[in-house]
């Protein structure tokens, strides 16, 4: 080996060992399922953890199946946070297979059962769309902080401070949501969407919520559902109905067509984020941005 080759060899060796160091950063490796939970865990863990979300923007968690890459991520995780209550219907098996060998945390499981909305559509017997109640999301924040602190006690104080900041931001969100909704007359607070994702939203903020599809997007809406709901829209003088980012448009367009065929008018008031946030790096790519966007879209269309 001549000198030049030795230098190249040493440089390559240094680069490889540097890479290994970055990979083994000593940070907790956290895996989350939905984009809402990915955003939440990033807020609590900050730079002190590495977060990998399995689902991206626009992904429907009811139908999501784990890829081989996902299984590898899950196997290497220090903690796995998921929504639970059977939202991630096709991942339940994967989580169960991991059994007691992994620190898996169902955030939905921390909520008091008496505050949940019952549902026959899910094996859990509960509606899993719990993040649409901001006070539930605050409880998630608290649980995430406690779990991170258990596996990394040396950073417990920093997690606690992050939680405090994030809870303040959620308080501000709650206040602005209530102020915005108060501008809408009570009789106009009717929310018609493609699937029943907004029952917790309705209960918390005073909306009558009617979904065209069952709670899970796995069940298709039938002709009878469309007829029944189009009559409801006419009877209640509903001005606008809404599409959702993670559900195909065609279901809500069929509903609009049914209303029009009865010589009444209803507009599509916009697209709401239901089971996934907007693209990463955008305002709607955060829980707070998503919630604000949804409320503005709903109130402006129904006014
Ligand atoms: Zn859903």
Cross-strand pairs, 240: 267
What per-residue confidence (pLDDT) applies to 249?
Answer: 85
Joined together, the tokens standing for residue 56 give 């991206």
What is the tens place of the pLDDT at every residue in 12-21? 333 333 333 2
Instruction: Write down the pLDDT at residue 4.
Output: 53
CA of 8 to the centre of ligand 1 (A): 55
How far, in Å, from the CA of 192 to the mean position of ligand 1? 14
Q: 220: pLDDT confidence band, cut at 50, 70 and 90?
A: low
CA of residue 290 to ligand 1 center, whole Å: 15
Cα distance between residue 50 and residue 27, in whole Å: 6
pLDDT tops 80 at residue 9: no
Q: pTM (2 decimals)? A: 0.88
At 94 the pLDDT is 85
The closest of 93, 59, 96, 51 to 76, measured between CA atoms, is 51
CA of 260 to the centre of ligand 1 (A): 27
Domains of the chain with CATH codes = 25-176 (3.40.50.1980), 184-302 (3.40.50.1980)
* Mean pLDDT value across residues 63-68: 93
Q: What is the mean pLDDT of residues 144-165?
A: 98
Q: Where are the alpha helices (DSSP H) in the chain?
A: 3-23, 35-45, 68-76, 92-98, 134-151, 156-182, 199-205, 223-235, 250-261, 287-302
Buried b (16+ CB within 10 A) or exposed e, 12-31: eeeeeeeeeeeeeeeebebb
- Give the pLDDT band of residue 217 (cuts 50, 70, 90): low
Q: Is the model's pLDDT at 214 over the cut of 70?
A: no
Please identify which residue in the block is written with the tokens 């609009």.
256
State the average pLDDT over residues 163-171: 98
Q: Which residue has the higher pLDDT, 122 or 65?
A: 65
| Distance between Cα 156 and ligand 1 center (Å) | 33
């Amino acid at each position: 080996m001549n000198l030049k080759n030795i230098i190249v060899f040493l440089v390559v060796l240094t680069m490889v060992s540097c890479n290994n160091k970055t990979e083994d950063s000593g940070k907790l490796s956290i895996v989350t399922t939905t984009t809402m939970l990915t955003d939440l865990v990033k807020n609590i863990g900050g730079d002190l953890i590495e977060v990998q979300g399995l689902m991206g923007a626009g992904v429907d968690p009811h139908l999501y199946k784990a890829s081989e890459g996902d299984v590898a991520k899950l196997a290497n995780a220090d903690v796995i946070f998921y929504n639970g209550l059977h939202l991630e219907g096709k991942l339940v098996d994967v989580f169960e297979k991991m059994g007691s060998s992994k620190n898996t945390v169902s955030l939905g499981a921390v909520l008091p059962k008496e505050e949940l909305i019952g549902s026959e559509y899910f094996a859990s017997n509960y509606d899993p769309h719990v993040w649409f109640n901001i006070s539930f999301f605050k409880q998630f924040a608290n649980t995430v902080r406690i779990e991170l602190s258990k596996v990394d006690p040396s950073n417990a104080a920093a997690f606690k401070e992050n939680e405090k900041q994030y809870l303040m931001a959620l308080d501000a969100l709650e206040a602005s949501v209530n102020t915005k909704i108060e501008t809408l007359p009570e009789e106009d607070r009717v929310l018609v969407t493609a699937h029943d994702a907004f029952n917790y939203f309705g209960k918390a903020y005073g909306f009558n919520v009617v979904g065209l599809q069952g709670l899970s997007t796995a069940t298709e809406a039938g002709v009878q559902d469309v007829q029944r709901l189009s009559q409801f829209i006419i009877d209640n003088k509903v001005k606008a109905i809404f599409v959702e980012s993670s559900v195909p448009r065609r279901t809500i367009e069929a509903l609009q067509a049914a209303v029009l065929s009865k010589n009444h008018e209803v507009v599509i008031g916009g697209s709401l984020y239901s089971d996934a946030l907007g693209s990463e790096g955008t305002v709607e790519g955060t829980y707070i941005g998503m919630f604000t966007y949804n409320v503005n879209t709903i109130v402006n269309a129904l006014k």
